[in-house]
Amino acid sequence: MERKNQLTIWYWVAVIGLLIGMQYYLLSSHVTTIPYSDFKTLLAAGKVTQATVSQGTINAQVDVTGTKDLLPAHEYQSLMSTPATSGPQMRQIVTDRVDDPQLTAELQAAHVRYSGAAESPWLRMLIGWVVPIALIVLLWSWLMRRGAGAGPGLMMGVGQSKAKLYTESKTGVRFADVAGIDEAKQELEEVVQFLRNPERFRGLGGKIPKGVLIVGAPGTGKTLLAKAVAGEAGVPFLSISGSEFVEMFVGVGAARVRDLFAQAQQRAPCIIFIDELDALGKARGISGITGNDEREQTLNQLLVQMDGFDSQSGVIILAATNRPEILDPALLRPGRFDRHVAIDRPDIKGREAILKVHAKNVVLSPEVDLAVVAAKTPGFAGADLANIVNEAALHAARENKKAVEPKDFDEAIDRVIAGLEKRNRVMNAKEKETVAYHEAGHAVVAENRAHADRVNKISIIPRGIGALGYTQQLPTEDRYLLKRSELLDRLDVLLGGRVAEELVYGDVSTGAQDDLQRATDMARHMVTQYGMSERLGQVAFDTMRSGPFLTVPQAPQQMNYSEETARIIDEEVGRLIKDAHDRVAQTLTEEREVLEALARLLLEKEVVDRASLDALLREHRNASSVAAAAAPSGELTPAAPLGPRARRSG
Ligand code: ADP
Ligand code: ZN
């Protein structure tokens, strides 16, 4: 609360400043205080027209014409600078009263209209202090009330709180806007039916879930789906994000939860949507470095509220997370989020459908085949695809085209995959050559392996940070299971870049680091998870525990095997890499001519597409004869989740 204190101090500085200012204004600005003697001079000169005599002071109205010589210069000036009163020459003065028995007689003699006032110091006090203080207190309490309503309020200087409850009476999203995730839609259909007609369900005694947890990778359309449920049912959609609760002061999050549920009860039937549930629903006790009282309180409040209301009331809570494994188990108990709907990254058909939804309002040239775009974007989530359509349209617009062409889509895919092109990034000739050989190495190996994905495009244009070039492979289908032979071929392709550098220069560059890392990871998975090592046999070692949607590697968990086994694992991983290295070296030595030709072509053109690659291969040899020789073998393994990256070799 350090910050709060500081801000409070500033608040009081401002208040005191304001008070002093008010005093100054009230008491001095339009009245000049002059010494009693000067007052007497003015009176004697007949300049005083009217006076109010009170206990301590005399307020008088003075005609300033011809008083210039009667008063000291500064006094005359300040008198003139005060606003005129009843006439242009009239000014108000005040003087402290001196015990002067003759005063009334003199006033009389000068024909001054005068009156006495039982002026109390109270009145001055009231005007000068009490009224402003009352005003300030009012202001303060008003701000406090706002503060309580919307998190730390204005006077804290932190602006509006981020935790906002978004209420949409009509989301306008329908199931038709959500493509490629039909199973999830089906599961939520029941919720829609209930919200449309709660009475009917109640009559039938149907059991309705209170909470549905939507689980899926970022950008797969969880929020969209929740909105579509509200849209289909025609009910209000109240949404709030879990991560926004947590930044607040202790107690505020819990209050928000109460408020949220109170509002929902009023608006029932309706949907409460809590995005990023994991941010507030992290298992208690495994919070980070600092104790997280606020989060726990908020979570507890959520649990209490969920238990406290009756699902028959027509309020359904949808929550989204991409990390279900870290949620507090209490959240998943019956009566809470006991229904789970999983959204996977879309498959090729799903991707095409999503692209169609987003391309609805885009003018496409007849050559554009969204199925082809879908084929080029394995591992992309809905949000990535929406982004691609948008980027493609922008690209077409920049080039003043009438319709979006396939080229624009290719450009958009490249952008999304590898970041913006940075053509102007300077690379010296030697570096460029190294990158050309490196990428050519990946490509040649890929073309020589029966189970490797076809090369779609090779580029040595530096993109984004880190990637100096890339070889894009186009899988012919989506894969969920990979055979050992396929994994080995992938391993070879990954090593292709590095081995090419070795062959050509007898040396390697740092550019192959990412490839090596991925090759090592893959080999380790083959040994420890898929039981693909002959020496260790069909055993899975639980070296890593990560959730199905977790892309960040987690800290290794406790080992459940001996040091001896660990050593063998390391040896086996090393052996897999070594064998792959030898195979690749052999291939590239045999294909040296193609490698050189491709590298030269790359240096010349910077980008080599499939057609040019085919032409080059045809010219030099018959690539397919070698590829046909390799034969598939035994076991099946689940494919690792493939993000857009997984298809590239950098
Ligand atoms: P999440 O909540 O899972 O992170 P969002 O629902 O916010 O993802 O998705 C972001 C955007 O991506 C959506 O607004 C939509 O434009 C697009 N999108 C994602 N999934 C789909 C889908 N299945 N169908 C159509 N558009 C989708
Ligand atoms: Zn590489």
pLDDT digits (tens, 9 = 90+) for 277-324: 888 777 665 544 445 677 788 888 888 888 887 767 788 899 999 888
Intervals of CATH 3.30.720.210 along the chain: 31-124
Q: Is pLDDT larger for residue 130 or for residue 571? A: 571
- How do 113-117 and 48-54 pair as beta strands? parallel
Q: Which ligand is nearest to the CA of 226?
A: 1
Counting from 1 in the atom list of ligand 1, the atom nearest the Cα of 177 is 25
Structure confidence by residue, pLDDT tens digits, 52-104: 887 778 888 888 887 888 888 888 888 787 777 777 788 888 888 888 888 88
Q: Is pLDDT larger for residue 28 or for residue 179? A: 179
Counting from 1 in the atom list of ligand 1, the atom nearest the Cα of 178 is 24
Separation of 496 CA from ligand 2 center, angstroms? Answer: 7
Topology classification of domain 429-549+562-630 = Methane Monooxygenase Hydroxylase; Chain G, domain 1 (1.20.58)
Q: Is 320's C-beta closer than 6 angstroms to any atom of ligand 1? A: yes
Q: What share of the chain is helix, strand, coil (3-state, %, to 5)?
A: 55, 15, 35
Separation of 351 CA from ligand 1 center, angstroms? Answer: 12
Counting from 1 in the atom list of ligand 1, the atom nearest the Cα of 346 is 23
Intervals of CATH 1.10.8.60 along the chain: 348-418
462: closest CA among 510, 504, 511, 409?
Answer: 511
Counting from 1 in the atom list of ligand 1, the atom nearest the Cα of 343 is 3
- How do 454-459 and 607-609 pair as beta strands? antiparallel
pLDDT for 273 equals: 92
Q: Is pLDDT larger for residue 32 or for residue 637? A: 32
Helix (H, G, I), strand (E, B) or coil at 373: helix
Q: Whose CA is nearest to atom 1 of ligand 1?
A: 219
Q: Where are the alpha helices (DSSP H) in 150-251?
A: 182-196, 198-204, 222-233, 242-246
Q: Which of 415-424, 606-615, 624-633 has the highest mean pLDDT?
A: 606-615
pTM (whole model) above 0.85: no
Distance, first Cα to last Cα, the chain: 48
What's the CA angle centered on 295, arms 293 and 300, to 5 degrees? 95
Task: State how far the Cα of 38 lies from the Cα of 47, in Å rounded to an integer.
Answer: 11
Topology classification of domain 164-343 = Rossmann fold (3.40.50)
Q: Which of 183, 223, 224 has the most ligand 1 atoms within 8 A of CB, as the residue to mutate?
A: 224
Q: Is 386's C-beta closer than 6 angstroms to any atom of ligand 1? A: yes
Structure confidence by residue, pLDDT tens digits, 374-398: 887 766 788 889 999 999 999 999 9
Q: Which ligand is nearest to the CA of 360?
A: 1
Q: Which of 25-34, 195-204, 326-335, 533-542 has the highest mean pLDDT?
A: 326-335
In this structure, what are the phi and psi dihedrals at residue 51, rounded to the nearest 5 degrees? Answer: -145, 145
* Inter-CA distances, 44 with 14, 37, 39, 40, 61, Å: 45, 10, 9, 6, 14
Q: Which ligand is nearest to the CA of 446?
A: 2
Q: Is 383's C-beta closer than 6 angstroms to any atom of ligand 1? A: yes
Q: Whose CA is nearest to atom 18 of ligand 1?
A: 382
324: closest CA among 341, 303, 345?
Answer: 341
Class of domain 348-418: mainly alpha
The structure tokens listed for 222 are: 């969880």
pLDDT for 418 equals: 63
Q: Is pLDDT larger for residue 320 or for residue 466? A: 320
The CATH code of domain 31-124 reads 3.30.720.210
Q: Is 342's C-beta closer than 6 angstroms to any atom of ligand 1? A: no
Amino acid identity for residue 393 in this structure: A
* Inter-CA distances, 292 with 158, 234, 283, 450, 512, Å: 21, 38, 11, 54, 42
String of DSSP letters for 278-324 = HHHHBPTT---SS--HHHHHHHHHHHHHHHHS-GGGSEEEEEEES-G
Q: Which ligand is nearest to the CA of 517?
A: 2
Structure confidence by residue, pLDDT tens digits, 442-462: 999 999 998 888 888 888 876
Separation of 511 CA from ligand 1 center, angstroms? Answer: 35
Q: Is 568's C-beta closer than 6 angstroms to any atom of ligand 1? A: no
Counting from 1 in the atom list of ligand 1, the atom nearest the Cα of 217 is 3
Q: Whose CA is nearest to atom 12 of ligand 1?
A: 383
- Residue 302 CA, distance from chain mean position: 23
* Inter-CA distances, 618 with 458, 471, 496, 621, Å: 17, 19, 21, 6
pLDDT for 244 equals: 72
Intervals of CATH 1.20.58.760 along the chain: 429-549+562-630
Task: State how far the Cα of 67 lies from the Cα of 51, in Å rounded to an integer.
Answer: 17
Counting from 1 in the atom list of ligand 1, the atom nearest the Cα of 320 is 2
pLDDT average, residue stretch 126-145: 79
Q: Is pLDDT larger for residue 540 or for residue 553? A: 540
Separation of 616 CA from ligand 2 center, angstroms? Answer: 21
Task: State how far the Cα of 189 lies from the Cα of 210, in Å rounded to an integer.
Answer: 15
Separation of 130 CA from ligand 2 center, angstroms? Answer: 77
Q: Is 533's C-beta closer than 6 angstroms to any atom of ligand 1? A: no
Task: State how far the Cα of 385 lies from the Cα of 392, in Å rounded to an integer.
Answer: 10
Separation of 461 CA from ligand 2 center, angstroms? Answer: 13
Q: Whose CA is nearest to atom 7 of ligand 1?
A: 223
- Residue 512 CA, distance from chain mean position: 32
In sequence order, the 6+-apart residues with CB closer than 8 A to the CB of 224 are 173, 177, 178, 382
Intervals of CATH 3.40.50.300 along the chain: 164-343
Separation of 381 CA from ligand 1 center, angstroms? Answer: 8
Which positions are annotated as active-site residues?
Answer: 439
